[in-house]
Amino acid sequence: NTVGPANTELKHTVCSHCSVGCSVDAIVHNGVWVRQETAFDSPINMGAHCAKGASVREHGHGEHRLRYPMKLVDGKYQRISWDQALNEVGDKLLQLRQQAGPDSIFWIGSSKHNNEQAYLLRKFVSMWGSNNTDHQARICHSTTVAGVAQTYGYGAMTNSFNDLSHSKAVLFIGSNPSEAHPISMLHFLHAKELGAKMIVVDPRFTRTARFAHHYVRIRPGTDIAFVWGVLWHIFENGWEDKEYIAARTYGMEEVRREVAKWTPQKVSDVTGVPEAAVRQAAEMLAKNRPSSVVWCMGVTQHHVGTANVRTLSILQLALGNIGIAGGGANIYRGHDNVQGATDVGPNPDSLPGYYGLAEGAWKHFATVWGVDYEWLLSRFGSKELMEKPGTTVSRWFDGVLESNDYVDQPSNLRAVVYWGHAPNSQTRLPDMKAAMQKLDMLVVIDPYPTMTAAMHGRKDGVYLLPATTQFETQGSCTASNRSIQWRERVIQPLFECKTDHEIMYLFAKKFGFANEMCKNIKVVNNEPVIEDILREINRSCWTIGYTGCSPERLKLHMHNKHTFNPTTLRAEYGPCKGDYYGLPWPCWGTPEMKHPGTPILYDLSKPIAEGGLPFRANWGVEYKGESLLAADGSTNMDSEIDTGYPEFDHIFLKRLGWWAELTPEEQAAAEGKNWKTDLSGGIIRVAIKHGCAPFGNARARCHVWNFPDPVPVHREPLMSPRRDLVKQ
Ligand code: SF4
């Protein structure tokens, strides 16, 4: 009650609890964050927050914050100074580098880092001399990136959250936005008010399912069979968009041949869904176009995640739903900056902007960074290491435990740095814990003492370094729909916490490459200037259109968006109109930095013959002529490296004692390259016989936030007296 206009500031920031990117107005009095409000005039949240978003202030001020550096001694954490922490951790890492090479360290980055920090970490690890870096996106949507990129071109959500109110039908599969992305539901419910049909496919009757016109309970892990079943009805009844298929796609004939094998009876046997229910879903989607498909981790977190994604991507091509308002493949990411950290951040198999690791990519970045390619090469020690993908968050422990059941991983890891990541949502935690105990050192850099800090079971060799939250620094973040937004710094770093980019700089100084890392970036008080890092991203990441989102434009846009009038927003709403919050990539920079961004991907105005994009339907069905899965196995394991969800495979069959039920030929196939993909073969037969899901599992579908009913359905914007006070 003591807050008044004097010494009070209004800061614009973005909620950090999911990838919808809702705007938050933070009210800061005398440097203390005293209150938060939703941004009433944001076109995405329109005066609403969910329960998670309503508590972002607590994230900054949470009482369990890590307040100072700590070191584990005889099983107890002791407070130490930053100097001691940087020296001891730095010396140990340099010693391990000397003994075992730069690849002996694994730097796990974060989807919680802003774009600039994620980019700087990839640069930092490159200059350390390794590709051993990864982040949360490996676990959630690596399969989406691989499957969608191979079909359409870009590995990202095609439309915008608020465009979805234009849909005439929406298929939710493996996603539960009522709980996981609540504000996005406002836009679906708006579509429903306008007559859209809603279909929810999920083994559980979720909070999203309660809004459905048609709820389909599916046997866990049988998504592919279900989607092929839907397509069977679409093709059988001639409901596909023939003109679109002819004009835009190639390879649909191969899909048709494959789908023809998935008769209603077979689909029903595999999925447990009555034949009529599959047909009803097909008819609702086909007869109410544009129709949108929304998926989340219930689709991706399977060892056939890429194949799941591929079938849904193909379904949208068959219905002519890609490249138009109200259609799209709408993929909900998890953390607030999973998309951005994937686009420009710490990936083991590519440099920022998905440049890959080939010599040309390294030379491009050597030029942007202002360093010699030869110097970079010398940091790795060999060209082979420089161009070899690093390990992943879902597999590093196999290397340490020397249990490479699934894929080859480096086995010389001696230390892991968890820089804004915790393995809460991962499988095989006992293996991870065992591997943590074998390491020489474990470092956790985070605003909170995470599960990593609690689960390792070590007596020493663990350091906890306190980092700031997103609200104690500024920078850009990219929502799931590719919208890049600017976050203002709300408060100064609390306690002894340092920003992640300051910690990167201090370690780079210790390791002797701070000057190279910041050649084109000013450094103020040990903090590389965030705006300069973004300018470097603008200069380097033109592949996906990060060139036009300069800091100046993002800051301007952040303020301009408040010119939207929330009460007239819906009346004004037309295709693409009002879809803008931030600048959705691709946002091109040249020549005059005026590109408005791209809320809906893929421009259909040009025919393919004149340079328009073709979409690829047949990738993954061409190899075997047997099934999509048969071909897709190579991509599940290779394109996106791995998803970390090998639930039902040859190893699982052996563990369960069912291996002998396969014929020798099936055993050979199962152990070969395509062992996890043989839909018509032994694995599925044995799985169904024992009543199991043949691919994937149900757990992934339960990957939702466990909050009490958070859906603020159609809450009208309320003007707060406090807000008026601040605005005066
Ligand atoms: Fe935050 Fe997501 Fe809720 Fe929006 S929907 S308020 S971004 S948690």
> Which H/E stretch holds residue 529?
none
Contact 621, 255 (CB under 8 A): yes
Q: How far is the CA of 294 from the centre of ligand 1 (A)?
A: 17
Q: How far is the CA of 50 from the centre of ligand 1 (A)?
A: 6
Phi, psi (rounded to 5 degrees) for 201 = -110, 115
Could you tell me which residues are beta bridge partners of residue 23? 14
**619: pLDDT strictly greater than 80:** no
CA-proximal residue: ligand 1, atom 1 (nearest): 53
- Nearest atom within ligand 1 for CA of residue 21: 7
Ligand 1 neighbours, Cβ below 6 Å, are 15, 17-18, 20-22, 45, 49-50, 52-53, 181-183
Contact 530, 520 (CB under 8 A): no
Q: How far is the CA of 613 from the centre of ligand 1 (A)?
A: 33
Ligand 1: which of 13, 38, 45 to mutate, most ligand atoms within 8 Å of CB?
A: 45
Of 106-120, 192-206, 466-480, 704-718, least confident by mean pLDDT is: 704-718
Q: How far is the CA of 56 from the centre of ligand 1 (A)?
A: 9
Q: How many CB atoms lie within 10 A of CB 5?
A: 10
Q: What angle do CA 555, 561, 564 make, to 5 degrees?
A: 165
Helix ranges (DSSP H) in 417-522: 429-438, 451-455, 500-511, 514-517
ipTM: 0.99
Q: How far is the CA of 573 from the centre of ligand 1 (A)?
A: 22
The pLDDT tens digits of the residues spanning 208-267 come to 999 999 999 988 778 888 998 999 999 999 999 999 998 888 778 888 988 888 899 988
Chain mean pLDDT for the chain: 80
Q: Three-state DSSP class for 167?
A: coil
Q: Averaging pLDDT over each range in 29-33, 287-291, 300-304, which range is the top one?
A: 287-291
The pair of structure tokens assigned to 521 is 């970036």
Q: How far is the CA of 188 from the centre of ligand 1 (A)?
A: 15
Q: At what angle do helices 115-128 and 373-380 cross, to 10 degrees?
A: 70
CA 197 to chain centre: 27
- Nearest atom within ligand 1 for CA of residue 710: 3
- Nearest atom within ligand 1 for CA of residue 53: 6
Q: How far is the CA of 163 from the centre of ligand 1 (A)?
A: 17
CA-proximal residue: ligand 1, atom 5 (nearest): 183
CA distances from 468 to 62, 85, 319, 494 (A): 12, 16, 46, 7
Q: How far apart are CA 652 and CA 664, in angstroms?
A: 17
Nearest partner of 487 among 51, 48, 116, 43, judged by Cα: 116
- Nearest atom within ligand 1 for CA of residue 52: 8
The pLDDT tens digits of the residues spanning 80-116 come to 999 999 999 999 999 999 999 999 999 999 999 999 9
Q: How far apart are CA 414 and CA 253, in angstroms?
A: 51
Contact 308, 242 (CB under 8 A): no
Percent of the chain at pLDDT > 70 equals 79
Ligand 1: which of 14, 16, 17, 477 to mutate, most ligand atoms within 8 Å of CB?
A: 17
Q: How far apart are CA 640 and CA 649, in angstroms?
A: 18
CA-proximal residue: ligand 1, atom 2 (nearest): 18
CA-proximal residue: ligand 1, atom 6 (nearest): 53
Under the banding of pLDDT at 50, 70 and 90, the label for residue 422 is confident
Q: How far apart are CA 113 and CA 121, in angstroms?
A: 9
Note the pLDDT of residue 378.
97
What SS3 string covers 543-606? HHCCCCCCHHHHHHHHHHHHHCCHHHHHHHCCCCCCCCCCEECCCCCCCCCCCCCCCCCCCCCC
pTM of the predicted structure, to 2 decimals: 0.84
Q: DSSP letters of 209-230?
A: GGG-SEEE---TT-HHHHHHHH
Burial of 458: CB neighbours in 10 Å, binned 0-12, 13-18, 19+: middle
- Nearest atom within ligand 1 for CA of residue 17: 8
- Nearest atom within ligand 1 for CA of residue 50: 3
Q: How far apart are CA 428 and CA 430, in angstroms?
A: 6
Of 23-27, 31-35, 296-300, 632-636, least confident by mean pLDDT is: 632-636
**Who has greater pLDDT, 260 or 377?**
377
Q: Three-state DSSP class for 467?
A: strand
Q: Three-state DSSP class for 83?
A: helix
**577: pLDDT strictly greater than 90:** no
CA distances from 328 to 167, 180, 316, 394 (A): 9, 20, 7, 29
Domains of the chain in sequence order: 81-134+340-479+483-547 (3.40.50.740), 143-334+616-643+696-702 (3.40.228.10), 648-692 (no CATH)
Burial of 7: CB neighbours in 10 Å, binned 0-12, 13-18, 19+: exposed
475-478 vs 483-487, strand pairing mode: antiparallel
Ligand 1: which of 25, 46, 56, 183 to mutate, most ligand atoms within 8 Å of CB?
A: 183
CA-proximal residue: ligand 1, atom 4 (nearest): 22
Q: How far apart are CA 370 and CA 708, in angstroms?
A: 51
Q: How far is the CA of 385 from the centre of ligand 1 (A)?
A: 40
Contact 59, 469 (CB under 8 A): yes
Contact 488, 12 (CB under 8 A): yes
Q: How far apart are CA 64 and CA 229, in angstroms?
A: 49
Q: How far apart are CA 676 and CA 670, in angstroms?
A: 6
CA distances from 485 to 16, 177, 532, 542, 658 (A): 12, 21, 16, 18, 51
**704: pLDDT strictly greater than 50:** no
- Nearest atom within ligand 1 for CA of residue 183: 5
Ligand 1: which of 13, 14, 18, 23 to mutate, most ligand atoms within 8 Å of CB?
A: 18
Q: How far is the CA of 62 from the centre of ligand 1 (A)?
A: 18
Q: How far is the CA of 477 from the centre of ligand 1 (A)?
A: 14
Note the pLDDT of residue 248.
83
Q: How far apart are CA 20 and CA 178, in angstroms?
A: 12
Q: How far is the CA of 26 from the centre of ligand 1 (A)?
A: 15
105-108 vs 415-419, strand pairing mode: parallel
Q: How far is the CA of 178 from the centre of ligand 1 (A)?
A: 11
The residue length of the chain stands at 728
**648: pLDDT strictly greater than 60:** no
Note the pLDDT of residue 580.
59
Q: How far is the CA of 179 from the centre of ligand 1 (A)?
A: 10
Q: How far apart are CA 300 and CA 139, in angstroms?
A: 9
Q: Averaging pLDDT over each range in 97-101, 421-425, 569-573, 668-672, which range is the top one?
A: 97-101
